[in-house]
Amino acid sequence: MPRIRAPHPLALLIGCVLLAAALSYMLPAGEYERREDPATGRRVVLAGTYHRVEASPVGPFQALVAIPKGMADAASVIFLVFLVGGAFTVVDRTGVLRRAVYWLVWRVGRREVLVIPIMSVAFAAGGVLENMAEEIIALVPVLLVLTRALGYHPLVAAAMSLGAAAVGASFSPINPFQVGIAQKLAELPLLSGAPFRLAFLAVALAVWIWGTMRYAARTRTAREAVNLERVEPLGVRGASILLLVLGAFAVFVIGVLRLGWDFDHMSALFFAMGVVAGLVGGLRVAGTAEAFVEGFRSMAFAAMLIGFARAITIVLSEGRIVDTIVHGLFAPIGQLPVALSVLGMMVAQVAIHFPVPSVSGQAVLTLPVLVPLSDLLGLSRQVTVLAYQYGAGLCELLTPTNGALMAVLAAAGVRYEHWLRFVIPWFLVLLALGAVAVGVAIASGLQ
C-alpha cells in the first residue's frame, strides 16, 4: 500500500488558510470581553463573559489578503530569519564553521553517539531558558554539515535542534514565554513547582534523546571520511571568528533574559556579528555583502512559511471564531470529575494550539478561563498551569501552523509527513508522561 504524501508545505498552509475561512461560515461568531492585565502587560479574557457577536465570515479573497497581513504581522520574526541566515552564511563563507565541524567529527571518532545527546541538551537549554524556536532556522545549514558528516539523516538535525528545544520549553520550570506568563495569570509565585518540573523535564528529555538516537541509528548511512590533515587549521583569524559567534550567542542569551530583548534586537546583534565576521575573515565589504545576499536567498522560503502560518490565525481572528473554539472546548470540562477534568484541559489545549500556535497567546487566551474553573472544581492552579504547559507546548512538535517547525523542516529538506511518522509516537509518549505528571501533582497536592 503506497504511503500518503503530505502536500507541499506551502500548499498545506494555504489549505489551512482556506479551511480557517470555511470555518468562519460554519461556526458561530463569539467573543470574550478582555481587560489589560498589569502582571503580564497583555490583554486577557474575562471568564464567564463569552457571548455571541455578529457573524464576520471571511471570503476567499479576504482569506488571501490575510497572507500579506500575516507577513506584516510576523515581520520581526521573518527579518530575524533573513538576517541571522545571512550572518551565518557569511561565517560559513569564511570556512570557519565547516572546519570546526570537521574537527569535531574527527575528535569524537567512534564516540559520535555522544553528539546527539550533547546537541539535544544544548538546544533543550535554549527552550528551557527562552522558548528558542525561530532562532534555530538559520542554524540548520550548519547542523546539516554535522549530521551529514556523521552519516545521519537530515531529520536528525531537526530532531536534536527544534525538537529538543520544544521538549525543553514544554517541561521548563522557567520559560518566561510559557510557564512564566501562565503562572502570572494564575497568580502563582514565579518558579513555584520548579523541582517538580525539573524532575519530569529530565525524564522527557531522556525520552526524546533516546528516540532521536534510535532513529539516527536505524537510518544511518556511511559517515564521511574526515582527514584532519586536509582540513586547514583555524588559525588566529578563524579562532577569532569562532569566538565572535560564541560571544554573540552569549550576548543574545543575556539580552533575552536580562534586558528584555525582542526579535529586532536579536536581528541587529547577529547582523553585526555577520558583518564583523566577514571583515575579520578577509571577505572584505563586497564579499560580505554577497554572502549576505546568498543567505537571504537560501532563507527566503523558510522565512515566508512563517508569514503563511501566521495568516491562519489572522483569518480565524477576523472570522471572530477563536473564542468560540475555546469556549466550545472548555465548557464541557466543568461537568467532569476532577481527575478527568484536568486531562480534558490537556486535550483541549492540544486542540486549541492548532488555531492558536503561539504558546504565550494561548496562555493569555485560556488561563483566565481555566483558573476560575479549576477553583470551582477544587483543582490546584499549579496543576491547571501544568495541563496548559504540556498540552500547548508539546504541540509545537507537530502542528503545521507552527511557522518555525515548517521553516526548519523546509530548510533541512525534510518532508512534513516524514517528520510526522517520526514524531507522532514520541509526541504521544511525552503527552502520556505529561498526564502522569499531572496525576502525580494532584496526588501530591502540588501548589
Report the sign of the C-alpha dihedral through residues 385, 391, 392, 397, in that order: positive
* Domain-terminating residue out of 273, 304, 335: 304
Which pLDDT value is given to residue 386? 92
Q: Are residues 199 and 79 in the same domain?
A: yes
Buried b (16+ CB within 10 A) or exposed e, 16-53: bbbebbbbbeebebbbbebeebeebebebbebeebeee
Q: Are residues 254 and 273 in the same domain?
A: yes
Q: What is the pLDDT of residues 104-116, one digit of tens each?
A: 766 666 677 788 9
The answer to whether residue 241 is domain-embedded is yes
Q: Are residues 429 and 393 in the same domain?
A: yes
Q: Which amino acid is at 253?
A: V
CA distance 237 to 81: 26
CA distance 301 to 252: 25
The answer to whether residue 2 is domain-embedded is no
CA distance 41 to 82: 29
Which pLDDT value is given to residue 331? 81
The answer to whether residue 247 is domain-embedded is yes
Q: Are residues 100 and 150 in the same domain?
A: yes
Q: Are residues 217 and 181 in the same domain?
A: yes
Which residue from 318, 304, 310, 306 is spatially nearest to 62, judged by alpha carbons?
318
The answer to whether residue 55 is domain-embedded is no
Do the Cβ atoms of 382 and 338 come closer than 8 Å?
A: no
* Residues of the chain scoring pLDDT < 50: 1-2, 228-229
Q: How many domains does the chain have?
A: 2
Do the Cβ atoms of 179 and 389 come closer than 8 Å?
A: yes
Concatenated DSSP letters of 352-407: HTTT---HHHHHHHHHHHHHHHHHHHT--HHHHHHHHHHHHHHGGGT-TT-HHHHH
pTM, 2 dp: 0.83
Which stretch of DSSP H or E encloses residue 80? helix 75-93
The answer to whether residue 3 is domain-embedded is no
CA distance 395 to 352: 10
Q: Can you give the residue range of the structural domain that contains 395? A: 9-45+65-72+314-444
Q: Are residues 149 and 258 in the same domain?
A: yes
Q: Are residues 237 and 363 in the same domain?
A: no
The answer to whether residue 28 is domain-embedded is yes
DSSP-derived 3-state class of residue 290: helix
Which pLDDT value is given to residue 369? 84
* Domain-terminating residue out of 284, 304, 324: 304
Buried b (16+ CB within 10 A) or exposed e, 109-132: eeebeebbbebbeebbbbbbbbbb
Q: Are residues 364 and 254 in the same domain?
A: no
Q: Are residues 298 and 319 in the same domain?
A: no
Q: Are residues 335 and 395 in the same domain?
A: yes
The answer to whether residue 53 is domain-embedded is no
Q: Are residues 242 and 368 in the same domain?
A: no
* Domain-terminating residue out of 242, 274, 304: 304
Q: Are residues 278 and 140 in the same domain?
A: yes
Which pLDDT value is given to residue 223? 62
The answer to whether residue 60 is domain-embedded is no
Which pLDDT value is given to residue 27? 92
Q: 52 has which bridge partners?
A: 30
Alpha carbon distances (Å) from 311 to 69, 403, 427: 7, 10, 26
What value does the CA radius of gyration of the chain take, rounded to a whole number of Å? 22
Which pLDDT value is given to residue 433? 96
